[in-house]
């Protein structure tokens, strides 16, 4: 089966500019995740969708970050305006089952490396 697709793979912007990342999960996967991975750290969850509803966005900086998952499939993560500290790899992941006990493993995309100058 095709894996999780993300684009672009790399993005360089200046601070205060806007940027958007796109993710297409594995077909049939109900749960979609966006993570931020800063160099030297493990991934940190930003937002989790179950179908097209938000399950957890407690660590999403909502003053500048937004995400949507239209029709429960593709998702877009946006940063507006970007700050220097947003430089990181943004990973999208998906997992199969919906429900209150989603313990399936997550499948990760290759990530988008964002550099904010």
Partner 1 sequence: AQSVAQPEDQVNVAEGNPLTVKCTYSVSGNPYLFWYVQYPNRGLQFLLKYITGDNLVKGSYGFEAEFNKSQTSFHLKKPSALVSDSALYFCAVRDDSGYSTLTFGKGTMLLVSP
Chain positions contacting partner 1, by CB under 8 A: 4, 33, 40-45, 48, 50, 55-56, 91, 93, 100-103, 105-111
Nearest alpha-carbon partner for 50 in 94, 11, 92: 94
- Measured from the CB atom, the residue of 63 and 105 that comes closer to partner 1 is 105
CB of 48 to partner 1, least distance (A): 6
- Measured from the CB atom, the residue of 57 and 74 that comes closer to partner 1 is 57
- Measured from the CB atom, the residue of 10 and 15 that comes closer to partner 1 is 10
Nearest alpha-carbon partner for 74 in 115, 20, 16, 117: 20
For residue 108, give Cα distances in angstroms to 5, 86, 95, 97, 117. Answer: 9, 20, 9, 15, 27
CB of 81 to partner 1, least distance (A): 27
Gyration radius (Cα) of the chain, Å: 14
CB of 50 to partner 1, least distance (A): 7
Nearest-5° Cα angle at 39, 41 to 26: 80
CB of 94 to partner 1, least distance (A): 11
């Amino acid at each position: 089966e095709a894996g999780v697709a993300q684009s672009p793979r790399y993005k360089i912007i200046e601070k205060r500019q806007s940027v958007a990342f796109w993710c297409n999960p594995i077909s049939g996967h109900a749960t979609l995740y966006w993570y931020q991975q800063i160099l030297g750290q493990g991934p940190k969850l930003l937002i989790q969708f179950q179908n097209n509803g938000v399950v957890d966005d407690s660590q999403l900086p909502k003053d500048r970050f937004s995400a949507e998952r239209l029709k429960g499939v593709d998702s877009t993560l946006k940063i507006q305006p970007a700050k220097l500290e947003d430089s990181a790899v943004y990973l999208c992941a998906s997992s199969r089952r919906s429900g209150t006990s989603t313990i399936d493993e997550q499948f990760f995309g290759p990530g988008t490396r964002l550099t904010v100058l």
